Structure 1
Amino acid sequence: MTYLALGSLLVLVAVVVRAIAEVVARRRGHRIPLLPTALAAAALVALTAVFDTAMIAAGLFAYADAHVSGLRIGLAPVEDFSYPIALAIALPGLWELAGERRADAES
């Protein structure tokens, strides 16, 4: 399996979690805001670009050419960006899904 396929699968799972959480949020009478998700994703992508490039340049790790698409941002393959994007998508959804348990624990 290539890193691109693995990353795409991860983002797909994150989108499904977020969609389920959005349904739950609407039932609770609110929505999960999109702007904070977009800002978090942008910040995580920027940090990934900077620090992955630095770590690859320092020789801390490398990618086998057979498993990457060849597209890069800095020295980091685009596949590396699927992880922070999936995190930014899924975490607000997971927080929403955990909200009922938080409310139960507080009362």
Structure 2
Amino acid sequence: MTYLVLSVLFLGVATGVSAVVSWATGRRTPWRPAALAAVALLVLTAVFDNLMIAAGLFAYSDAQISGLRVGLAPVEDFAYPVAAVILLPALWSLLGGDDDR
């Protein structure tokens, strides 16, 4: 399985869970804060992935990635912060994080 397929599956699960939770709870993700979080996470991913790859902490087989990169980091690495921005607000809502206690 390539990193692209894994990333698409991960994004699909995150989007599906978010949609189901939004439908079930009637709560929608506040997209302005989510967009701000996404930008911050994508910038941090770009910086730290590039630093870790440049330092030789890990490497990617060219056969397992699409070949598109942001610096040294494959674009597939950016799916995980996007999935977190999609999934975590839904899980917060599902687990009662918005309830006044």
Please say whether Structure 1 and Structure 2 have the same fold, judged by a TM-score greater than 0.5: yes
Which residue among 50, 58, 61 is the counterpart of 1:64? 61
Unaligned runs of 5+ in 1: none
CA apart distance, 1:73: 0.6
Unaligned runs of 5+ in 2: none
Distance in 2 of aligned mates of 1:21 and 1:96:
8
Q: Percent identity?
A: 58
Distance in 1 of aligned mates of 2:20 and 2:39:
23
**Residues 25 and 32 of structure 1 are in contact (CA less than 8 Å); yes or no, is this contact kept in structure 2?**
no
Alignment of 1:1-107 (within 5 A): 1-26=1-26, 30-99=27-96, 103=99, 106=101
With normalisation by structure 2, the TM-score equals 0.91
CA RMSD of aligned residues (A): 1.8
Distance in 1 of aligned mates of 2:89 and 2:34:
7
Q: Alpha-carbon deviations, 1:6-42, whole Å to 9, x = none?
A: 011000100011111211332xxx4321111111111
Larger Rg: 1
Structure 1 runs (4+) greater than 2 angstroms displaced: none
With normalisation by structure 1, the TM-score equals 0.86
